Amino acid sequence: MSIPVLTVARSVFLPTDPAVGQLLGMTLPRYLANTAGLVLGVGVGVAIVGVGAAWLVTMCRFRGSRTLEWALLLPMAMPAYLLAYTYADLLQFAGPVQTVLRGWFGWTRGAYWFPDIRSLGGAIVVMSAVLYPYVYLLTRAAFLEQSASTHEASRVLGYGAARSFARVAVPIARPAIVGGVALALMEALADFGTVKHFEVDTFTTAIYLSWFGLGSPVGAAQLAAGLLTFVFAILLGERVTRGNRRFYGAGGAAGAPRPISPYRLGGARAIGALLFCVTPILVGFAIPAGVLLRFAILQGDAGLGAQFGRLVANSLLLAMGAGVVAVVVATVVAYGVRLAPTALMRGAAWISTLGYAVPGSIVAVGILLPFGWLDNTVDAWARRSFGVSTGLLLSGTVFALLFAYLVRFLAISFNAVEAGLGRITPSMDVAARTLGERPFGVLRRVHLPLLRGSMLTATLLVFVDALKELPATILIRPFNLDTLAIRVYQLASDERLAQASTAALAIVAVGVVPVVVLSVAIARSRPAVPEATDI
């Protein structure tokens, strides 16, 4: 799992390609400014929306709050690049929004100001709209685990609902909030389709330009190493600011937290809470899904035809393969740590899950370089020894693509499986071993039946992420193996959004099913809460 990161890190010590050096000399300040602005904007956006929405639907009661609990996860099924294509078409000068405004007010070109969606600000808004569920999901779980006694103490000391939220709930939930923001920022840094369509130059677009435009794999790896510094700076910055502080929620009897009595909102407060929660759903899911549906009905991809079944099959098989492989490997790693919880084992598990902190473009570069070297070495040996060419054994194959998905998404499945194992008491392992079971037998007959829920959750999460993955798929995919994401990117890049809508809707339709299943499971897991109180 560490091969891609080590490969990229090694490139820093190689001579810089002159063409890449010239490119960086002219554009590096812009790459740095845009990447830093994207990180800052998306981080603030997802934190405000995710934490605010999690607090409102968890700690407050208003009309529609129960439905919003699961509906707020729907944008997770919508790839960011689909929003970029949709809103660019809606809000451009010739789009329906500006056309209607000009018709209403009699405006002409240059006579009015309208925000440019194809800009850094537009990219921040679009990414925030689809990435806030990472923060919402983890923060809501943290709020659910907090004890009523802590909040009651703050109320006794004179804190109102707002001050209790800011001074008690948010500080206790800080690890979850930071974890969700970090996940969102990793996805934002890895994004290629959105920034490419909005013409925002970041390190990710520079990697593709170096690889495809300049033909310099070493230059691409060196740029990827620069992007990697952003990732580690984010993680290191949070650790430094946290220091030695620890964050615990006060538990009730027997360590089980007593559920918090929610606040009942009415009048203007209820309307404000409803608007705050509905807006990201509209922006991140409902509006783009409606636009894509209209395009698909009126001007769908007539040329898709027989390709559609092949694209769907390729996408589903790759996503399901990634989900199954990731869960199997995660189960082996997590169970290994449970059998031998030493510092070495825990360190190995941590290293194996670092890939999620690495953008897909970096993973792709870090895989293609060593795999390509190995293929060339084996081919040269076969030519010398037997006079035959072995061709591409690893690079440019389905194996390489699935390996990239595994490196990228193992952390998701590992966290889910490890959490499930943590809820199984060690006494069950001891009892099974006493009855003569070997470690593998304990896993097969005891743990796997109890881990079905956690393993299903992990598979669904990896499935959704792999279905939307674009950067690694573009770089590593074998020839003639296209997916729905590739088809959407190809058509939308040619400004043919109407034709791209058919494949885009297929991605959303397939991805929304696991999201709804996950949402319902989370809703059912919530403990019974007392009656709401007025504020």
In angstroms, what is the C-alpha Rg of the chain? 25
pLDDT, residue 93, reads 82
The CA distance from 56 to 192, in Å, is 33
Average pLDDT on 472-487 reads: 82
Residue 8 confidence (pLDDT): 72
Residues 92 and 98 sit within 8 Å (Cβ to Cβ): yes
Provide the pLDDT for residue 260: 66
Task: Tell me the C-alpha distance between 151 and 386, whole Å.
Answer: 75
Does 26 or 58 have the greater pLDDT score?
A: 58
3-class SS of residue 14: coil
- Using CB atoms within 10 Å of the CB of residue 493, give its burial: 0 to 12 exposed, 13 to 18 middle, 19+ buried: middle
76 alpha carbon, distance to own chain's centre: 8
For the segment 115-148, what is each residue's pLDDT rounded down to a tens digit?
A: 888 889 999 999 999 999 888 887 887 777 666 6
Q: How long is the chain?
A: 535
Predicted pLDDT at 257: 54
**CA-CA distance, 485 to 473, in Å (whole number)?**
9
Give residue 208's pLDDT: 73
CATH code: domain 34-209+258-299 is: 1.10.3720.10
**Backbone φ/ψ region at 424: left (φ over 0), alpha (ψ -120 to 50), beta:** beta
Q: For residue 60, list its beta bridge partners.
A: 263
Q: Is 313 helix (H, G, I), strand (E, B) or coil?
A: helix
Residue extents of the structural domains in the chain:
34-209+258-299, 301-493
Does 254 have pLDDT greater than 50?
no
Spatial distance between the Cα atoms of 474 and 361, rounded to a whole number of angstroms: 9
The tens digit of pLDDT for each residue in 389-410 reads: 877 788 878 888 899 999 988 8
Using pLDDT thresholds of 50, 70 and 90, give the confidence band for residue 281: very high
Secondary structure of residue 38 in the 3-state scheme: helix
CATH match of 301-493 with 1.10.260.40: no
pTM across the whole model: 0.77
pLDDT band at 48 (very low <50, low <70, confident <90, very high): very high
Higher per-residue pLDDT: 319 or 10: 319
Is the per-residue pLDDT at 282 higher than 90? yes
Residue from 247, 287, 345, 270 nearest 532 by CA: 270
Residue ranges of the alpha helices (H) in 387-438? 398-422, 426-434
- Average pLDDT over every residue of 267-281: 91
Residue 444 has pLDDT above 80, yes or no: yes
pLDDT digit string, tens, across residues 169-193: 778 777 778 877 877 887 788 777 7
Decide if 34-209+258-299 and 301-493 have a common fold. Answer: yes
pLDDT confidence of residue 308:
76
299 contacts 498 by C-beta, under 8 angstroms:
yes
Q: How many CB atoms lie within 10 A of CB 121?
A: 15
Task: Give yes or no for a contact between 333 and 181, defined as CB atoms under 8 angstroms apart.
Answer: no
Quote the CA–CA distance of 306 and 29 in Å, as a whole number. Answer: 46
pLDDT of residue 426: 81
